[in-house]
């Protein structure tokens, strides 16, 4: 059995995974105490992780009908993320590992997301992964477990972050993604004009901060912000985000084809992958290019310990080494941008 903890942001999660790949328990607690602040407050998050873990660690063992003695490997997210939360989760998992004299695997949160579609799908390596979260917007070539080529990323805000910021400007609370998605259906996506930053750039980088600024000016210039205007702004914003993501991914596909780089599968991962309109747009694009499109289940799109346990299992199966001395690193990256 593998026991995993995820505490990099505002979800506190634990999972028990058997070494033959079956989940025996998975608990995700979304911390609710950040809502009134319109974003995650790091200190509140780390204190909440400490409290919640004390409840859900025993609860997940109970659910799995096992005892601590049955755990062979311990793992936790060690970065990137908020340092307080990372320290709480990784220290708890390391302490359990030391107490039982078992190995500890530090897991990179981004690796967890990148491998998350493999939990419910068979994928062929190498596959292209578009990672869209609250902190990252990146394009990777996943060549194998532990071999990730970063092809492009945002130069400023992440996609999820821009959903959150636009929701805040519209007074819609946190997290912004789900609520923007919900009201965008009711709005007119052509109601306003928003910019397309880096439109003619030939790299696979993104930029989203200009859109947030444009939305903030739009909001300021409205004599009155009623429901209809909110719906229209949400629809226009979401549609512009999709236009940007699809344009960049099309460029990535074109580069891959031009360089004769063989891929069969494309994965959309991270919290934003739960957005149906974004998901459908990617599906259509992949169909056009004859790539198979895969994505994690709704539960595995957002932050969760199942993907951390899963990444740990893949590392273990590849004989990769555990490391109890690995220090939580809020900026742990999977590598610098490379060109194909
Ligand atoms: O992967 P994730 O749970 O946490 C990070 O690693 O950051 O992603 C969280 C982000 C938040 O910014 C949230 O607003 C966004 O994912 N998100 C969405 C949707 N659900 C969550 N964005 C757009 N549409 C959604 N349905
Ligand atoms: Zn995440």
Question: pLDDT class for 36, splitting at 50, 70, 90?
Answer: confident
Residues contacting residue 340 through CB under 8 Å, at least 6 positions apart: 141, 149, 151, 255, 256, 259, 261
Which token pair is 285? 């694009």
**Nearest atom in ligand 1 to 302's CA:** 3
Residues 12, 79: Cα–Cα separation, whole Å? 14
Each residue of 57-96: pLDDT tens digit?
999 999 999 999 999 999 999 999 999 999 999 999 999 9
Mean predicted lDDT score pLDDT of the chain:
97
CA of 182 to the centre of ligand 2 (A): 21
Predicted confidence at residue 339, as pLDDT, reads: 87
The whole model's pTM is what? Answer: 0.97
Q: Which ligand is nearest to the CA of 271?
A: 1
Residue 3, SS3 per DSSP: strand
**Nearest atom in ligand 1 to 175's CA:** 14
Predicted confidence at residue 302, as pLDDT, reads: 97
Q: Which of 175, 240, 281, when mutated, tests ligand 1's pocket best, judged by the most ligand atoms within 8 Å of its CB?
A: 175
Whether 295 shows a pLDDT value over 90: the answer reads yes
Question: pLDDT class for 35, splitting at 50, 70, 90?
Answer: confident
């Amino acid at each position: 059995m593998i026991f995993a903890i995820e505490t990099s942001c505002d979800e506190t999660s634990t999972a028990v995974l058997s070494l033959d790949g079956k989940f025996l328990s998975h608990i995700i607690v979304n911390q609710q105490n950040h809502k009134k602040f319109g974003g995650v407050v790091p200190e509140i998050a780390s204190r909440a992780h400490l409290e919640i873990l004390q409840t859900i660690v025993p609860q997940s063992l109970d659910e799995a009908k096992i005892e601590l003695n049955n755990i062979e490997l311990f793992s936790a997210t060690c970065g990137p993320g908020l340092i307080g939360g990372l320290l709480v989760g990784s220290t708890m998992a390391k302490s359990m590992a030391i107490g039982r004299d078992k190995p500890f695997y530090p897991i990179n949160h981004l690796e967890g997301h990148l491998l998350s579609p493999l939990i419910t799908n068979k994928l062929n390596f190498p596959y292209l992964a578009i990672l869209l979260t609250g902190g990252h917007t990146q394009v990777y070539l996943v060549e194998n477990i532990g071999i990730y080529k970063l092809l492009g990323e945002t130069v400023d805000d992440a996609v999820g972050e821009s959903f959150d910021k636009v929701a805040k400007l519209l007074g819609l609370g946190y997290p912004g993604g789900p609520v923007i998605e919900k009201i965008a259906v009711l709005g007119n996506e052509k109601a306003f004009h928003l910019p397309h930053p880096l439109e003619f750039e030939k790299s696979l980088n993104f930029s989203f901060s200009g859109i947030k600024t444009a939305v903030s000016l739009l909001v300021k210039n409205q004599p009155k912000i009623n429901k209809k205007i909110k719906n229209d702004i949400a629809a226009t914003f979401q549609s512009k985000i999709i236009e940007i993501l699809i344009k960049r991914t099309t460029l990535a596909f074109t580069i891959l084809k031009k360089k004769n780089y063989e891929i069969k599968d494309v994965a959309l991962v991270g919290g934003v992958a739960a957005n149906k309109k974004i998901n459908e747009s990617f599906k259509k694009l992949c169909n056009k290019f004859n790539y198979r499109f895969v994505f994690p289940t709704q539960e595995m799109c957002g932050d969760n310990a199942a993907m951390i346990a899963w990444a740990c299992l893949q590392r273990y199966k590849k004989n990769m080494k555990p490391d109890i001395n690995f220090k939580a690193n809020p900026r742990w990256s999977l590598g610098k941008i490379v060109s194909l």
